[in-house]
């Protein structure tokens, strides 16, 4: 058997088409602000991609490229300024941050209504409680990918390998919401293969090239590879996932790397920016109504 390839491009295009339609119903063009500290090559390339795609669908986009040495205080001050700017609809701080800056207080400083990454504790709480809010981009993108290819999670056993705050944990919340039975496995899980073989839907989000091998996968499972690993090639580095390519001989469907989940992360970010602008519009109108005697 050779697995059906679940390519991210068409699913991302569908998300972007929907975001474009919603954009035309807004009175003002949403403005995305992306903050990057330092010159980490992967971060530079992801931020460039976000800025390019935002402009392509008709959003305003500003990249704040700050020096590696920028202090946490200076970063918090910039976030405070953007929080109070009613023309700034989305704020995102590219991760990882340099070591001298703590991630948690920085994320917590972002206005939850402008937190287009969906990482603020208030959005995390909404996600687990099933309340409206802004969902994190990669997990929401994964769910959009499954929906696009008509793959239902309801009643199925989902195993996520990886427990990060960015992917593993929020993906578990979204799969639970979609009525899957969810297991999160991680680096300390004994006999990982015995756990992954239970999965009808297997998600790999660890960041270890080729970790998931064919004998770890149930025949006919759907395998979603969220890992992005740069490995040295003979001439230049190349990107590979957490799933070994031979898994395609066992799985019924599988996402490639690159060209799988990656494009959905960016598309979902832009969908979240439009959503954030909508939420802020309603929020402002509700405040005005309350203030009117
Ligand atoms: N603030 C955030 N930081 C980070 C996030 C995030 O969601 N918010 N996620 C990752 C990196 N990331 C977005 O920032 C990201 C990763 C991968 C891709 C992507 O399109 N990948 C392509 C390959 C691109 C390439 O050639 O390098 C693919 O997989 O096909 C987009 C965004 C960590 N930081």
ipTM: 0.97
Question: How many Å apart are CA 176 and CA 68, to the nearest integer?
Answer: 39
Ligand 1 center–CA 261 separation, angstroms: 9
Question: How many Å apart are CA 188 and CA 60, to the nearest integer?
Answer: 44
Tokens of 176: 């639970």
Tell me: pLDDT of 286 over 90.
no
DSSP letter (8 states) at residue 179:
T
Task: Kindly calculate the radius of gyration of the chain based on its CA atoms and give it in whole angstroms.
Answer: 20
The least confident of 72-81, 225-234, 246-255 is 225-234
Tell whether ligand 1 has an atom less than 6 A from the beta carbon of residue 47: no
User: Does the active-site annotation cover 51?
Assistant: no
Tell me: pLDDT of 33 over 90.
yes
Question: How many Å apart are CA 215 and CA 193, to the nearest integer?
Answer: 7
Residue 217 binned pLDDT confidence (cut-offs 50, 70, 90)? very high
Place of tokens 């957490």: 242
Share of the chain above pLDDT 70, in %: 99
Strand ranges (E), the chain: 4-5, 31-37, 60-66, 90-93, 157-161, 181-185, 201-204, 222-225, 229-231, 238-240, 253-254
Place of tokens 């991609």: 49
Tell me: pLDDT of 225 over 70.
yes
Residue 293 binned pLDDT confidence (cut-offs 50, 70, 90)? low
Tell whether ligand 1 has an atom less than 6 A from the beta carbon of residue 170: no
Catalytic-labelled residue, pool 50, 53, 114, 169: 50
Ligand 1 center–CA 228 separation, angstroms: 8
Q: Is this prediction's pTM over 0.80?
A: yes
Ligand 1 center–CA 265 separation, angstroms: 6
Place of tokens 């500003």: 62
- Which CATH entry fits the domain spanning 137-261: 1.20.1560.10, 3.40.50.720, 1.20.1280.260, 3.40.50.620? 3.40.50.720
Tell me: pLDDT of 118 over 80.
yes
pLDDT of residue 171: 98
Catalytic-labelled residue, pool 115, 117, 225, 242: 117
Does 228 show up as a binding residue in the annotation?
yes
Tell whether ligand 1 has an atom less than 6 A from the beta carbon of residue 113: no
Ligand 1 center–CA 153 separation, angstroms: 24
Question: How many Å apart are CA 9 and CA 2, to the nearest integer?
Answer: 20
What are the domain boundaries of the chain? Answer: 29-113, 137-261
Residue 196 binned pLDDT confidence (cut-offs 50, 70, 90)? very high
pLDDT of residue 107: 98
What's the topology of domain 29-113? Rossmann fold (3.40.50)
29, 273 Cβ separation under 8 angstroms: no
Indicate the helix (H) or strand (E) that contains 84: helix 72-84
Does 259 show up as a binding residue in the annotation?
no
pLDDT of residue 20: 95
Tell me: pLDDT of 137 over 70.
yes
Does 163 show up as a binding residue in the annotation?
yes
Q: Could you tell which of 38, 53, 103, 228 is best to mutate to test the pocket of ligand 1, judged by most ligand atoms within 8 Å of the CB?
A: 228
Classify the phi-psi angles of 20: left when phi > 0, otherwise alpha if psi is within -120 to 50, otherwise beta.
Answer: alpha
pLDDT of residue 287: 79
Do 29-113 and 137-261 share a fold?
yes
């Amino acid at each position: 058997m050779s697995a059906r390839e679940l390519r991210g491009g068409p699913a991302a295009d569908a998300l972007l088409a929907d975001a474009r339609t919603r954009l035309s119903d807004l009175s003002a063009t949403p403005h995305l602000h992306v903050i990057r500290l330092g010159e980490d090559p992967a971060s530079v390339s992801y931020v460039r991609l976000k800025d390019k795609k935002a402009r392509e669908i008709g959003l305003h986009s500003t990249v704040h490229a700050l020096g590696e040495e920028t202090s946490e205080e200076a970063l918090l001050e910039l976030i405070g300024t953007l929080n109070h700017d009613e023309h700034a609809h989305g704020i995102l701080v590219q991760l990882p941050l340099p070591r001298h800056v703590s991630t948690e207080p920085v994320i917590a400083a972002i206005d939850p209504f402008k937190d287009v990454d969906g990482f603020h504790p208030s959005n995390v709480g909404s996600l687990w409680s099933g309340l409206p809010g802004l969902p994190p981009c990669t997990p929401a993108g994964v769910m959009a990918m499954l929906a696009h290819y008509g793959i239902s999670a309801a009643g199925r056993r989902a195993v996520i390998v990886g427990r990060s705050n960015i992917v593993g944990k929020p993906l578990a919340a979204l799969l639970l919401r979609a009525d899957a039975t969810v297991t999160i496995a991680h680096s300390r899980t004994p006999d990982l293969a015995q756990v992954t073989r239970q999965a009808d839907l297997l998600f790999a989000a660890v960041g270890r090239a080729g970790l998931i091998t064919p004998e770890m996968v149930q025949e006919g499972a759907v395998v979603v590879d969220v890992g992005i690993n740069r490995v040295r090639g003979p001439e230049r580095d190349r990107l590979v996932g957490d799933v070994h390519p031979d898994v395609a001989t066992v799985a019924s469907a599988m996402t490639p790397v690159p060209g799988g989940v990656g494009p959905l992360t960016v598309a979902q970010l832009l969908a979240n920016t439009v959503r954030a602008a909508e939420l802020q519009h309603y929020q402002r109108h509700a405040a005005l109504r309350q203030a009117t005697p």
